[in-house]
């Protein structure tokens, strides 16, 4: 066979470097097992509908009507679609120029960006400018767009929490930048310590890295913590002092499972702080229809909002967006519906509230069942999932297990997760895919399996873990917890 025009040797090095564990080795093995007929519980991706969460009815009705506008004039449509869904479909179609089948403005439909701005204003108490809101095919595309704009070369560093959602590491590799890690403190409930940040920045600078931006994920993925106002203020001040763009991944803002720390946006905290910081600090915030009680992952709808980004830079970001023409229009409409759901008095209001509350309350219960379940297992310890969709327990692997993993040529947590998968069908992501301190091992599961399946899943996990620990633990030199 002659040399290929594109072989591994001649592939872009940045592409080779990319790692994306959420769909990595564990996921591939799980897919294989599924093909062989084994029942797999996919807890590797925050993909609620794949695990049986039903879509909210009203948005689906509206989008279906937008897809088939001929129904809007059909007198029989009223038999299966409520009047407010029909009215809303007409409203959204009026915001398009040519329905769902026409490219929109590359930033998204102006009418929907206006609805997003109104939502942000209601949420934060400060007006928002639709011109600074860009709709995207899911939040990931937005993150990639911004990182592509920031990163010039390997000298440019981006501060990323560890553990982190691997989109960030993957995108930074792909664009040829440097990831500058800052560690979240597991013992402080995955808290973010500004001293750690300073240390990370100092270390990066000593290597000649120019730190350009900082990523925060709030609520945390995979770590599930919710940042306090005080902590957010510290972070903002830090970014201001160091002249960093803050990228606020706030896609889990609806997913809050405790009452002490409700979600508060970075933008609100920033604007509360007043000038000069509120007028200068550069912030980009991300949101999506994939998470929350919506979970509409397959729609690829999202947006980012820019604060204090100069107009010329906004124009450049617009230009790059225009090369991909426009985000998908159905996804834009889902986003419009998310920021502008049915109101009291609307025909569909009660059903909408019932459905969304049902999902959130159940997620809250599942978060609790899971955390408690993990904490009842030998050599496992887990912070409570305050928000987002994940549990990130630490697994204390006995030395013998670590040796066995080495012999098998696997990273220890990958070894553990593969065994877990083979034994129980539970498909998780090893902590090494998100980053963790050396010698400490975790796994990430979503809290998304159906509530009624949860006890059985946790029992099955416990049984596996007990047997695993029994097999590899020799009890010497270990203090039991």
Partner 1 sequence: MRRSVADKARKLLLVKTATSSSSSVSQHPSLPLSLSSSSWPQSAIRFLTSLNSPSPSSSSDSMTSSLTLETINPKVLKCEYAVRGEIVTLAQQLQEELKVNPGSHPFDEILYCNIGNPQSLGQQAITFFREVLALCDHPAILDKSETQGIFSADAIERAWQILDQIPGRATGAYSHSQGIKGLRDTIAAGIEARDGFPADPNDIFLTDGASPAVHMMMQLLIRSENDGILCPIPQYPLYSASIALHGGTLVPYYLDEATGWGLEISELKKQLEAAKSKGITVRALVVINPGNPTGQVLAEGNQREIVKFCKEESLVLLADEVYQENIYVPDKQFHSFKKISRTMGYGDNDISLVSFQSVSKGYYGECGKRGGYMEVTGFSPEIREQIYKVASVNLCSNISGQILASLVMSPPKVGDESYESYSAEKDGILSSLARRAMTLEDALNSLEGVTCNRAEGAMYLFPRIHLPLKAIKTAEAEKTAPDAFYCRRLLNATGIVVVPGSGFGQVPGTWHFRCTILPQEDKIPAVVSRLTDFHKGFMDEFRN
Scanning residues 158 to 197, which ones bind partner 1 (CB under 8 A)? 167, 170-171, 174-175, 183, 185-189, 193, 195-196
Binders in 47-66 for partner 1, by CB under 8 A: 47-52, 55, 57, 60-61, 63-65
The CA-atom distances, in angstroms, between 470 and each of 324, 398, 422, 428, 467 are: 54, 10, 17, 21, 5
Q: Which candidate, 108, 107, 129, places its Cα nearest to that of 120?
A: 129
**Count of residues near partner 1 by CB under 8 A:** 137
Binders in 423-442 for partner 1, by CB under 8 A: 437-440
Contacts of residue 223, defined as CB under 8 A and 6 or more positions apart, other chains included, come to 161, 163, 184, 190, 217, 383, 388, 390, 392
- For partner 1, the closer CB: 70 or 407: 70
Binders in 369-388 for partner 1, by CB under 8 A: 371, 375, 381-384
- For partner 1, the closer CB: 312 or 470: 312
Classify 135 as helix, strand or coil. strand
Stretch that binds partner 1, among 77-85, 262-270, 336-344, 426-434 (CB under 8 A): 77-85
Stretch that binds partner 1, among 122-130, 324-332, 355-363, 399-407 (CB under 8 A): 324-332
Q: Does residue 229 contact residue 269 with C-beta atoms inside 8 Å?
A: yes
Binders in 225-284 for partner 1, by CB under 8 A: 240-245, 276, 280, 282
Binding to partner 1 by CB under 8 A, coded x per residue (else -) over 91-120, reads -----xxxxxxxxx-x--------------
Q: Which candidate, 384, 396, 395, places its Cα nearest to that of 447?
A: 384
For the bound state, the minimum distance from the C-beta of residue 385 to partner 1, rounded and expressed in Å, comes to: 11
CA torsion through residues 97, 98, 104, 108, sign: positive
For the bound state, the minimum distance from the C-beta of residue 418 to partner 1, rounded and expressed in Å, comes to: 19
For the bound state, the minimum distance from the C-beta of residue 161 to partner 1, rounded and expressed in Å, comes to: 13
Binders in 4-33 for partner 1, by CB under 8 A: 4-8, 10-16, 18, 20, 22-23
Q: Which candidate, 371, 369, 370, 395, places its Cα nearest to that of 383?
A: 371
Any contact of residue 141 with partner 1 (CB under 8 A)?
A: yes
Token couple for 86: 């029909």
- For partner 1, the closer CB: 4 or 344: 4
Any contact of residue 460 with partner 1 (CB under 8 A)?
A: no
Q: Which candidate, 225, 267, 276, 227, places its Cα nearest to that of 246?
A: 267
- For partner 1, the closer CB: 330 or 431: 330
CB atoms within 10 A of CB 225: 27
For the bound state, the minimum distance from the C-beta of residue 62 to partner 1, rounded and expressed in Å, comes to: 9
Binders in 197-216 for partner 1, by CB under 8 A: 198-199, 201-202, 205, 208, 210-213
Q: Note every long-range contact of 471-476, with CB atoms under 8 Å and residues 24 or more positions apart, other chains counting.
A: 471/401, 472/397, 472/398, 472/400, 472/401, 472/404, 473/379, 473/398, 473/400, 473/401, 474/398, 474/399, 474/400
For the bound state, the minimum distance from the C-beta of residue 122 to partner 1, rounded and expressed in Å, comes to: 25
CB atoms within 10 A of CB 41: 23
- For partner 1, the closer CB: 198 or 365: 198
For the bound state, the minimum distance from the C-beta of residue 319 to partner 1, rounded and expressed in Å, comes to: 6
- For partner 1, the closer CB: 24 or 268: 24
Classify 38 as helix, strand or coil. coil
Q: Which candidate, 102, 58, 99, places its Cα nearest to that of 82?
A: 58
Binders in 328-347 for partner 1, by CB under 8 A: 328-331
- For partner 1, the closer CB: 45 or 426: 45
CA torsion through residues 428, 433, 439, 444, sign: negative
Binders in 282-321 for partner 1, by CB under 8 A: 282, 290, 295-300, 308-310, 312-313, 316, 319-320
Any contact of residue 125 with partner 1 (CB under 8 A)?
A: no
DSSP type of residue 148: H
């Amino acid at each position: 066979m002659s040399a290929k025009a594109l072989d591994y040797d001649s592939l872009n090095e940045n592409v080779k470097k990319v790692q994306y564990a959420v769909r990595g080795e564990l996921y591939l093995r799980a897919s294989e097992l599924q093909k062989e007929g084994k029942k797999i519980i996919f807890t590797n991706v925050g993909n609620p509908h794949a695990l049986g969460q039903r879509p909210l009815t009203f948005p689906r009705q509206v989008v279906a009507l937008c897809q088939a506008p001929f129904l809007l004039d059909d007198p029989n449509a009223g038999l299966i679609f409520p009047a407010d869904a029909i009215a809303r479909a007409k409203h959204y179609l009026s915001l398009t120029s040519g329905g769902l089948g026409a490219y929109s403005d590359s930033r998204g439909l102006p009418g929907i960006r206006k609805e997003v701005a109104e939502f942000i204003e209601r949420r934060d108490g400060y007006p928002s400018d639709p011109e600074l809101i860009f709709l995207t095919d899911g939040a990931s595309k937005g993150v990639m767009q911004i990182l592509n704009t920031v990163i010039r070369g390997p000298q440019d560093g981006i501060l990323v929490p560890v553990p982190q959602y691997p989109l960030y590491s993957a995108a930074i590799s792909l664009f040829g930048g440097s990831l500058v890690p800052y560690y979240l403190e597991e013992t402080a409930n995955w808290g973010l310590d500004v001293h750690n940040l300073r240390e990370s920045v100092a270390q990066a600078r000593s290597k000649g890295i120019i730190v350009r931006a900082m990523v925060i994920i709030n609520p945390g993925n995979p770590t599930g913590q919710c940042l306090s106002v005080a902590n957010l203020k510290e972070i903002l001040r830090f970014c201001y002092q160091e002249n960093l763009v803050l990228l606020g991944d706030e896609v889990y803002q609806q997913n809050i499972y405790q009452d002490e720390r409700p979600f508060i946006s970075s933008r609100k905290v920033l604007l509360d702080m007043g000038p000069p910081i509120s007028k200068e600090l550069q912030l980009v915030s991300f949101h999506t229809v994939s998470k929350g009680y919506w979970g509409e992952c397959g729609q690829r709808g999202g947006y980012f909002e820019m604060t204090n980004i100069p107009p010329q830079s906004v124009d450049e970001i617009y230009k790059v967006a225009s090369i991909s023409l426009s985000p998908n229009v159905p996804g834009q409409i889902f986003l419009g519906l998310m920021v502008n759901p049915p109101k009291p008095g609307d025909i569909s209001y009660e059903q909408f509230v019932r459905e969304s509350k049902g999902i959130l309350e159940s997620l809250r219960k599942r978060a609790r069942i899971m955390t408690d379940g993990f904490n009842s297992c030998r050599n496992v310890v887990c912070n409570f999932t305050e928000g987002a969709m994940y549990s990130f327990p630490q697994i204390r692997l006995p030395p013998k297990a670590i040796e066995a993993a080495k012999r098998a040529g696997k990273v220890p947590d990958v070894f553990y997760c593969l065994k877990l998968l083979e034994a129980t069908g539970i498909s998780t992501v090893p902590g090494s895919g998100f980053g963790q301190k050396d010698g400490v091992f975790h796994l990430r599961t979503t809290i998304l399996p159906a509530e009624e399946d949860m006890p059985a899943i946790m029992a099955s996990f416990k049984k596996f873990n007990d047997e695993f620990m029994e097999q590899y633990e020799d009890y010497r030199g270990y203090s039991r917890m």
